[in-house]
Structure 1
Amino acid sequence: MNVDSNFKHYLLVEEYLSENTIKAYLSDVKAFLDFVKIKKYDIKSEDTVISYIKNLIKKSYSIESILRKISSISVYYDYLIKEKVIDKNPVLLIDKPKKWFKLPDFLNEDEILKILDTVDKSTPHGFRDYIIINMLYTSGMRISELVNIEVSNCDFRRGIIRIKGKGGKERFVPIHKKLIEELNKYLEIRHNYFVKGRDNGYLFLNKFGNKLSREYCWKIVRKYAEMAGIKKKVSPHVFRHTFATHLLKNGADLRVIQMLLGHSSILTTEIYTQLDDDSLRNSLSIHHPRFKR
């Protein structure tokens, strides 16, 4: 089944999505519409969306892929509402069973401290790496967002960094006071050690004065995690999961976390509400009178 050609224009003009993201959305929606046509389901029903999700799970799609497809389908429904084809978005009516999703890997606070303590901050490269890891954990930004930060995006007086997320959408990420002090120190190191010739403006540079690549940052994260003796599979995205999980565990509102992470859909953020059994039991032990005994 073909997707309405006007939908692509809607994604470009109304949603401000990039070409690659638009291609992914169109592919996701086409697959969903083909499923609806084959099964002869009612596209207006939330049961149709639930059946499609179950079909994806049966096909062993990853949680990330399923959530992305749900997000794409939800945007398509919003488009149909705008075009007055339907009057409600069935994706928003779904009460998703918890067993559909697993909590992403994350680090505990001790593991974070171990990794940060492993970094030798006395060298230019070490101090840069320390700032990178610290920012990943305390901001929750994607690695693609971090490597594209320019010095001009940093407002230390207000304590925020302007970053460009998926689809070119901009958001402001707060940074804490201690990190601002360390960033100011890093800027001196950056100017004296990393900048070679003409300054390209990017915050994080390699020894040749070029912007750091995502792949290099992956290596940085893995190196220090291994040095700290962390057995988990640690990647930059694990720090993003850790940021969100620690916020939620300490009482942050889910909508606030959604804004900080730059999620377009609350469905994506809801994955962090599924704390592990130990966390739930520990919470009960602290707060419930029967469990205290």
Structure 2
Amino acid sequence: MNITIRQRENNKWQAIVSYKDKKGKWKQKSKGGFDKRKDANQWAKEMSFELQKLEKSGVLGNEYTLEEIFELYLARMEKTNKRDSTSTIDTYRGCMNLFSDFLSRDINSIKSAELYNLIEDKRKLTGNSYNLNITVLSIMFNFAIKKVRACENNPCNLLYYDKTKKDNRIKFITEDLYQKILGEAKTPKMKLLIQLLYETGMRISEALGLCIQSVKNKAIVVERQLLRDKKTSTNVLKTDNSYRVVPISENLYRQLKSATFDIHGRIFYDVAQQNLYYHLKKYNTSPHCFRHTRATILVGSGIDLTVVAQVIGDKIETILENYVEVNEDNIDKKFDMIRALI
């Protein structure tokens, strides 16, 4: 490792620290604009110390840009987790767009202060928390540290998650609210989709990917979902638990069987997902809230949790931790049952 201090034509001092990478090629770190030689020398000593630390840890010379790390991680994800890789990769790419200005940077050159300033500016500008973006970026740095050995520290560790924003959506949709949402839907197909979500608790991607062939014996065989491009359906679902059979009412069964469908058998080919979200937003709810609602109704009805998990398509722990809400429709009845036990 060599240090060079030189004075430029503008009388400013420049410090250069030269070192060899793992392939034996000379690389250098430099900084100019110092007014005094001693300041340039001090910077060079500090940089040399940092480079020696990286050399001992095996990181020095193992240089990657953030974009290279990102692509390596996604390639590894696609290879090891084919089931959910498509939707997850789309999510990760969306999150990383926030850090587009950093993608071409050497991953070791990205500092916490830079990321902090970016996140804070975006939060003030948009009001969004960007917590998911921070999580994804942190995953990239941990991958670079543990698997690629391309850096030593994770600058995301000094960022904070904004927990001030609360989810104010109505997660349990009462019967009265459901009837109002249903009654004000503009098309018969939209009404049918809302009824399907309410009765089954299916994920919106599963509902939109539903084919007529999967509706049989007063039940729905959940075996397909619509991809994020909103055009292509696939038989690859979110988890192994997602493949399931969901019982439905006679009324819903008859409506689904008589509904129009496209050449592939998809029933809701003519319903735009954004129109559904727009309709539900007026009532401060969303398609996923129907999932919360159905899980709550099933648990509150005393149905065995293993059956509830089977119908909803998730683990029991997930049902209890994330989906069960307060059912205002029958809370008085439940309170009377509690009083009878006292």
Task: Give the TM-score band, short-chain normalised.
Answer: 0.5 to 0.7
Instruction: Indicate the structure (1 or 2) with the bigger Cα radius of gyration.
Output: 2
Distance 2:160 2:294 in 1: 24
Secondary structure of residue in 2 paired with 1:149: coil
Q: 2:288 aligns with which of 235, 240, 246?
A: 240
For structure 1, the residue ranges without an aligned partner over 5 or more in a row are 42-47, 206-210, 223-231
Distance 2:218 2:155 in 1: 44
Q: CA RMSD in A?
A: 5.6
Which has the higher mean CA deviation after the structures are superposed, 32-41 or 144-153?
Answer: 32-41
Distance 2:156 2:323 in 1: 19
Distance 1:37 1:90 in 2: 7
How far did residue 11 of structure 1 move?
1.4
Distance 2:265 2:160 in 1: 46
Distance 2:141 2:226 in 1: 23
Distance 2:135 2:226 in 1: 16
Whichever residue aligns with residue 241 of structure 1, its letter is C
Secondary structure of residue in 2 paired with 1:17: helix
Aligned to 1:44: none
Q: Which structure shows the bigger proportion of residues in strand conformation? A: 2
When the two structures are superposed, what TM-score results if normalisation uses the length of structure 1?
Answer: 0.53
- Distance 1:160-1:13 versus aligned 2 partners, 3 A rule: farther
Whichever residue aligns with residue 286 of structure 2, its letter is V
Aligned to 1:185: 254
When the two structures are superposed, what TM-score results if normalisation uses the length of structure 2?
Answer: 0.47
Q: 1:170 aligns with which of 237, 258, 262?
A: 237
Identity of aligned residues (%): 15
How far did residue 85 of structure 1 move?
5.5
Distance 2:101 2:296 in 1: 34
Whichever residue aligns with residue 108 of structure 1, its letter is I
Aligned to 1:62: 128
Q: Would you say the 8 A contact 2:182–2:194 is kept in 1?
A: no
Q: Would you say the 8 A contact 1:103–1:272 is kept in 2?
A: no
Q: 2:96 aligns with which of 26, 37, 44?
A: 26
Instruction: After superposition, give the CA deviation of every residue in 1:251-272 in whole Å (9 maximum; x if it has no partner).
Output: 889xx7xx9589xxx9xxx898
Distance 1:217 1:32 in 2: 36
Q: 1:132 aligns with which of 170, 181, 193?
A: 193
How far did residue 202 of structure 1 move?
0.8
Whichever residue aligns with residue 212 of structure 1, its letter is V
- Distance 1:146-1:247 versus aligned 2 partners, 3 A rule: closer
Aligned to 2:211: 150
Instruction: After superposition, give the CA deviation of every residue in 1:2-42 in whole Å (9 maximum; x if it has no partner).
Output: 4142422431451423675454243245568889835458x
Distance 1:174 1:91 in 2: 39
Aligned to 1:105: 169
Distance 2:195 2:141 in 1: 39
Secondary structure of residue in 1 paired with 2:222: strand
Q: Which structure shows the bigger proportion of residues in helix conformation? A: 1
Q: Would you say the 8 A contact 2:201–2:290 is kept in 1?
A: no
- Distance 1:156-1:174 versus aligned 2 partners, 3 A rule: farther
Higher relative contact order (CA 8 A, sep 6+): 1
Distance 1:88 1:153 in 2: 50
Whichever residue aligns with residue 139 of structure 1, its letter is G
